[in-house]
A and B are shown apart, each in its own frame.
Chain A
């Protein structure tokens, strides 16, 4: 039998009809995640055509993109950015009622960013196919699930047929060998990888992150890595499921229970790529060379170690990007003055991310003139963080502690930066205007974001670590 990759095993298990020269494969979808922005037109089409949802039991909906992150006022009114945002949320609520979809809405203790709550609830499981009208669906690949973003027309296809028409993508192994240095994390690693392979280096491929440095990552860190696969152009990124995955999932509400759990784990153990399985493309990354990494341009491929000089622009596009960012060739990004710091998004809003930021902020203050927003990824993250007192660390440092949502990552809910402001952001996209018209985004880890908030300029988190403090005190 031929050697198969993790991707090929999942693909083969979900083919309803094989692809031919003339027709794509019909691929079965195990889990369909839904939010308010990319679903309304699909529900409308279903209604107009008199169609039903084929498998509402395989759908999970939440409110995250258009939702305010400030709490409801005394009158119970939520401070929506505008009437359209409010109407869009109301429409998902009524669509879910009408079509019988499980919605984690305002009254749910589990509401949150769709890519945070899927895993939290145990709905995301190894070997699954998972889709959502959202490009960061790649996040769920951290569990060894084939997960990718789709458009609204395809959302309608899945609603009505539980299937998608798909051509088989190619495979791309990213081997991350060795060990990440102390004080360097998953966000630094994925920015480094995208900087290496390029913003379109993964186009047409499904990525598989492999190697010692990947196996050593926690589930939260694996989600950060897979989340940004799309920023290299790859619709999906995968990490083989292992004991770390199983331990994380066990006991979660949607995960298999008791005897079914054991059967499932047995099945999941067969998923990792066979030794000597062939990939269409491979690269090797040396983890020990990764440094605290940030972006200096207007796409995530323009990433560099914060202490390294920004390269000279080689074409008109790069010049435009550097002009927009006011980044200076030959100078490092470290030291750049900061106006806003955002900790949140489906990339970095889980408990460990908040702990990472809090560790640096504890006993410190956000610099004068800097606005810092901390937005937990879900109600569960918010509860856990508050139980640990992290919110008090943020608030006493002068940061704003908000209600869960996508917030300033996509800036469509009213949380946004002003023209010209520089935002150090733990999110995933530094496109022009992404965080507000004219706003300049520097992508970074939660540790870098927190250190930069304290310093008032882009700062190396290793200078703010507890170990570093102890060293300074001893000296």
Chain B
């Protein structure tokens, strides 16, 4: 994974609360056996009209939302299933960060492992961001703040290890495998306890 230190973009806003993983990527697209190419199906049933054309009512189809890499979403974004296809689809679509007052656990964990930044902000700041689509933001991963156009800053906290991995492009599986000796010891100890 390549290091991520800063994300700079205008915001696109999806105000709905509880946007679930079925809305992000409907289950019928989960028959894929690769990670690639899911962006064209992101928000499929919301984004397209039945004839396949763009749904003008879908906020991310608005001209000013095109190309935005920062998504501000209603509370509890990513609830539902554990499908990692949800962050894969968002990243492939061009989203690099999701800002929200609360993000579902499994989605957040999956997102961070793929370099999709999930940022939880306080409710008042969240409300402001929801009400100001298109605002130009700069996210500093190292210093953990979002810079606003007026010079103001919204501070946030990432889980320290996730932040370290994002900043340094750390491969988490590689990190785990460095602990092989400790895992061996655990298995040996457990075997003896179970037999005792």
B154 within 8 A of A: no
In the complex with contacts A84-B31, A135-B81, A165-B176, A200-B18 CB distance below 8 A: yes
How far apart sit A263 and B172, CA to CA, in the bound complex (Å)?
37
A165–B110 Cα distance when bound, in Å, is: 12
Check B191 for interface membership: any CB of A closer than 8 A: no
State in angstroms the CA–CA spacing of A200 and B100 once bound together: 13
Does A289 belong to the interface (CB within 8 Å)?
no
A412 on interface, CB distance cutoff 8 Å: yes
In B108-122, which residues have CB < 8 Å from any A CB? 109-110, 113-114
Does A233 contact B104, Cβ atoms closer than 8 Å?
Answer: yes
A410 within 8 A of B: yes
> What does the 1/0 interface line of B39-53 toward A look like (CB < 8 Å)?
000000100000000
In the assembled complex, A41 has its CB within 8 A of some CB on chain B: yes
Determine if A153 is an interface residue (Cβ-Cβ < 8 Å).
Answer: yes
B18 nearest CB neighbor, chain A only: A299
Tell whether A233 pairs with B79 under 8 Å between CB atoms, given A41-B33, A151-B84. Answer: yes
Number of contacting residues on A, CB 8 A? 66
Does A22 have its Cβ within 8 Å of any Cβ on chain B?
Answer: yes
Residue on A nearest B108 in the bound complex, by CB: A203
Query: Number of B residues contacting the other chain (C-beta, 8 Å)?
Result: 52
A22 near B161 with CB under 8 A, answer yes
Kindly report which residue of chain A lies nearest to residue B109, judged by CB atoms.
Answer: A151
* Residue B128 interfacial (CB < 8 Å): no
* Residues on B with beta carbons closer than 8 Å to the beta carbon of A24: 159, 161
Task: Give Cα A432 to B177, complex, Å.
Answer: 40
Are B183 and A163 within 8 A (Cβ)?
yes
Which residue of the partner chain B has the closest CB to A80?
B31
Alpha-carbon separation in the docked complex, A233 to B80 (Å) = 8
Interface pair A200/B173, CB less than 8 Å apart: no
**What's the nearest-Cβ distance from chain A to residue B131, in Å?**
13
Indicate if B22 sits at the interface (CB-CB under 8 A): yes
A167 touches B159 (CB 8 A): yes
**Which parts of A273-322 form the interface with B (CB within 8 Å)?**
299, 301, 315-317, 320
* Contacts beyond the supplied A22-B164, A38-B82, A150-B82: 5 A-B pairs with Cβ under 8 Å: A40-B33, A82-B31, A153-B114, A161-B183, A317-B18
Interface residues of A (CB under 8 A from B): 16-17, 21-24, 26, 28, 37-38, 40-41, 44, 49, 54, 65-66, 81-82, 84-85, 87-88, 91, 133-135, 137, 149-154, 156-157, 160-163, 165, 167, 199-200, 203-204, 230, 233, 235, 263, 299, 301, 315-317, 320, 410-412, 429, 431-434, 437-438
Q: Which residues of B contact A (CB under 8 A)?
A: 15-18, 20, 22-23, 26-28, 30-35, 45, 74-76, 79-84, 87, 102, 104-106, 109-110, 113-114, 159-161, 164, 172-173, 175-177, 179-180, 182-183, 186-187, 190, 194
